[in-house]
Amino acid sequence: MNIIRKYRNIGIGTVIAGALTFACSDEFLETIPQGQFSTVAVANADGVEGLLLGAYAMLSGTGLDGQAPWNNDIQNWVFGGLTSDDAYKGTDAGDQPEQSFLEAYDFQATNTHLRNKWRGVYKGVARTNDVLNTLEEAEDMTEQRRQQVIAEARFLRGFYHFEARKMWRAVPYIDEETFELNNLESSKVPNDREIWPLIEADFEAAMNVLPETQGQPGRPTQWAAMAFLAKAKMFQGWDQSTGQANTAKLQEAKVLLDQIVASGQFELVPNFEDNHLVATRNNQESIFEIQFAISSANGDKSNQGVGLAHPYTDPWGCCGFYQASQNLVNAFKTTADGLPMLEDFNQESVTWETEYTEPLDPRIDHTLGRPGILYKGFKIHDTDFIRDLGYAGPYSPKKHVAEPEAHGVGGWQNLSANNYRIMRYGMVLLWLAEVEVELGNLERARELVNMIRERAANPQGFVPRAIQGEERNDFTIVEGEPAANYVISTYDQPWTDPEVARKAVRMESRLEFAMEGHRFFDLQRWGVAAEVLNEYLALEGTRRSYLSGRSFTKGTHEYFPIPLEAIERSFKDGAPTLVQDPAF
- Which one-letter DSSP state was computed for residue 286? E
Q: Give the span between the Cα atoms of 357 and 99, in whole angstroms.
A: 34
Kindly state whether residues 501 and 579 are assigned to the same domain.
Answer: no
**Contact of 5 with 479, CB cutoff 8 Å:** yes
Of 43-47, 186-190, 205-209, 411-415, the range with the lowest mean pLDDT is: 411-415
Please provide the DSSP assignment of 500-552 as one string.
HHHHHHHHHHHHHHTTSS-HHHHHHHHT-HHHHHHHHHHHHHHH-GGGTT---
Residue 332, φ and ψ in degrees, nearest 5: -85, 0
CA distances in angstroms from 400 to 4, 245, 515, 545, listed in the order given: 28, 33, 9, 28
Q: What does the pLDDT read at residue 297?
A: 61
Q: Total domain count for the chain?
A: 2
Kindly state whether residues 102 and 80 are assigned to the same domain.
Answer: yes
Structural domain for 172, as ranges: 33-60+109-210+555-584
Kindly state whether residues 50 and 65 are assigned to the same domain.
Answer: no
Kindly state whether residues 96 and 16 are assigned to the same domain.
Answer: yes
The residue-averaged pLDDT of 95-118 equals: 96
Q: Is 442 strand, coil or helix?
A: helix
- pLDDT-based confidence at residue 349 (cuts at 50, 70, 90): confident
What counts of helices (H) and strands (E) characterise the chain? 17, 15
Strand partners, 360: 333, 486
Q: pLDDT tens digit string along 211-228?
A: 999 999 999 999 999 999
The domain spanning residue 243 has which CATH number?
1.25.40.390
Q: pLDDT tens digit string along 78-97?
A: 999 999 999 999 999 999 99
Kindly state whether residues 314 and 203 are assigned to the same domain.
Answer: no
Q: pLDDT tens digit string along 523-576?
A: 999 999 999 999 999 999 999 999 999 999 999 999 999 999 999 999 999 999
Kindly state whether residues 164 and 247 are assigned to the same domain.
Answer: no
- Which one-letter DSSP state was computed for residue 136? T
Q: Is the dihedral of CA 457, 460, 461, 466 positive or negative?
A: positive
The domain spanning residue 135 has which CATH number?
1.25.40.890
Kindly state whether residues 200 and 302 are assigned to the same domain.
Answer: no
Burial (0-12, 13-18, 19+ Cβ within 10 Å), 23:
middle
Which of 65, 51, 288 lies closest to 176 in space, CA to CA? 51
- Averaged confidence pLDDT in the chain: 90
Kindly state whether residues 279 and 152 are assigned to the same domain.
Answer: no
Q: What does the pLDDT read at residue 66?
A: 73
Q: Give the span between the Cα atoms of 74 and 89, in whole angstroms.
A: 17
Residue 387, φ and ψ in degrees, nearest 5: -75, -45
CA 123 to chain centre: 20
Q: What does the pLDDT read at residue 61?
A: 84
